[in-house]
Chain A
Amino acid sequence: MIALIDYGAGNLTSVRKALSAIGAEVEVPREPSELDDAMAVIVPGVGNFQSTAAMNNRWRQGILDVVGRGRPLLGICLGLQWLFEGSTEAPACQGLALMTGQCDRLEGGVEVSAGRSWPLKIPHVGWNALHFPRASRLFEGLEEGSQVYFTHSYAAPVTTDAVAVTAHGRTFASGVERGHVFGVQFHPEKSGDAGLRVLRNFLNAV
């Protein structure tokens, strides 16, 4: 069973639908104790970094325990940011600190491409390209430059944990992987075949 965490900040329908389309058995635990049976945990996320504060210490510890038992964890969107130490979006709110660094707001401006300049809007909404600084389990089989669907204003720093990077103004970590801890800033459940492949790759790690 894959545990899909619902911290009440969004809608799980899409993630659940995409996971069942690729044959995963998904449950939404009501209590942290139900995480004991989880083969893997997925933390989806929309909204403000602070909404992860709804993940009180019991949930937080429950998730860390699952990771401690060697079970894979995938953070999606805000779920990726939550893997880091914190975010300037909510400085008082602590992340899981499974990866080092602070998340920060993207900055608007202008981007020049093919001789034209395009305004950079924040939030970063739409399809953008993944670039892979090194091989990873999460992005196995994806072509360099594959496009996936983003919608966010804050992003994680590029560290040695970054296995995919994307540029919107600055370059940020669009995919991270350290051991059996994974994160994606984009929405794999909304990214067509490329996104389903990433979810399959995660399930292969389970």
Chain B
Amino acid sequence: MLSKRIIACLDVRNGEVVKGVHFEGLRNAGDPAELAARYNEEGIDEVVILDVTATLENRRALAETVGAVAKRIFIPLTVGGGIRSEDDAAAAVEAGADKVSLNTAALTNPRLIATLAARYGSQAVIVAIDAKWVDGRAIVYVRSGQHGTEREAVEWAREAADRGAGEILLTSIDRDGTRQGFDCALTAAVSNAVDIPVIASGGAGTLDHFSEVFIDGCADAALAASIFHFSEHSVRTLKELLRGRGIPVRL
């Protein structure tokens, strides 16, 4: 049966992973390629590189980073952050990305979803949705969660899927960085509304949070950054726990 995926996110700036990292035995804990290789050995299912800067200079650095990571791991690699045009996506793909993640650009220029799906296939196009609860409605936010829009997450996810997105990466702004757990209500609402897989993000603090988001949140995959970076819990420990609870994983 299809496994629930565990995805590690590397927030990268100027070729370095920016969230704190302390893995023992790594030559340079901030080096994305070293970190990706380590996660790969531990059994991570996918890696996402998120460019947290967006200047032209940094984008060149990003291509180098993507290339270095792609050389080390043979599992799906997604690149997101600052992908605004077909050219940006092409640069990421040429550098070795298997999928690109669109966020603000998908909302401001929804035709980009179909353009990229036609060029690379839907499986290569992820639409990232950052959502926040406002008066009982899950509202889509853009520009790194700074600006609220008129759109609701469920309705935008449906449209993105119709336009050719292959997956939805759903981040709860309310939970991001809180370590209080994924937003299962938000995730389930979106996951049950679309046929394409939904990756839950934001709020992972304990291993229990992952089983909650798979069971209560109906997530197809769960993404986290710092819980793995700090090596409090290895990917393997997490997957063993999930398997013990009847959740299908790749071990």
Contact = CB atoms under 8 A, between A and B. Distances in A.
Interface of A: 9-11, 13-14, 17-18, 21, 46-47, 108, 111, 113-116, 118-129, 147, 149, 151-152, 167-168, 189-193, 195-196
B85 to A, nearest CB: 17
Interface stretch (B9-17, B68-76, B223-231): B68-76
Interface of B: 1-5, 40, 45, 70-71, 74-76, 93-94, 96, 98, 120-124, 166-167, 191-192, 195-197, 215, 218, 220-221, 246-248, 250
B161 to A, nearest CB: 11
A125 B98 contact: no
B2 to A, nearest CB: 5
Given A13-B93, A17-B70, A129-B1, A46 B248 contact: no
A150 to B, nearest CB: 8
A113 B248 contact: yes
A127 B2 contact: yes
Contacts of B5: 126-127
Contacts of B93: 11, 13
Contact of A122 (B94, B121, B195): B195
Contacts of A127: 2-3, 5, 45, 250
Interface of A is mostly: mixed
A108 B195 CA distance: 9
B45 A126 contact: yes
5 contacts: A13-B93, A125-B196, A126-B2, A127-B2, A192-B75
A201 B248 CA distance: 28
Contact of A151 (B166, B191, B221, B248): B166
Given A119-B218, A121-B197, A191 B120 contact: no
A173 B195 CA distance: 23
Contacts of B2: 111, 118, 120, 124, 126-128, 168
Nearest to A193: B74
A115 B246 contact: yes
Contact of A195 (B74, B96, B121, B248): B74
Max chain B Cβ within 10 angstroms of own Cβ: one of A127, A128, A147: A127
B75 A191 contact: yes
Contact of B195 (A14, A115, A121): A121
Contacts of B76: 149, 190
A160 B241 CA distance: 38
A127 B123 CA distance: 14
A9 B191 CA distance: 29
B71 A17 contact: yes
A129 B192 CA distance: 24
A44 to B, nearest CB: 11
A190 B1 contact: no
A11 B124 contact: yes
Contacts of A114: 246-248
Given A111-B1, A124-B2, A21 B74 contact: yes
A14 B78 CA distance: 12
B250 A147 contact: yes
Contact of B221 (A13, A108, A122, A126): A126
A113 B197 CA distance: 19
A116 B74 contact: no
Contacts of A108: 195
Nearest to B194: A121
Given A13-B93, A126-B4, A190-B74, 4 more contacts: A46-B121, A123-B123, A152-B123, A196-B74
Contacts of A111: 1-2
A18 B71 CA distance: 9
A125 B166 contact: yes
Contacts of A125: 123, 166-167, 196-197, 220
B3 A10 contact: no
Given A121-B220, A125-B220, A190-B75, A11 B40 contact: no
A14 to B, nearest CB: 6
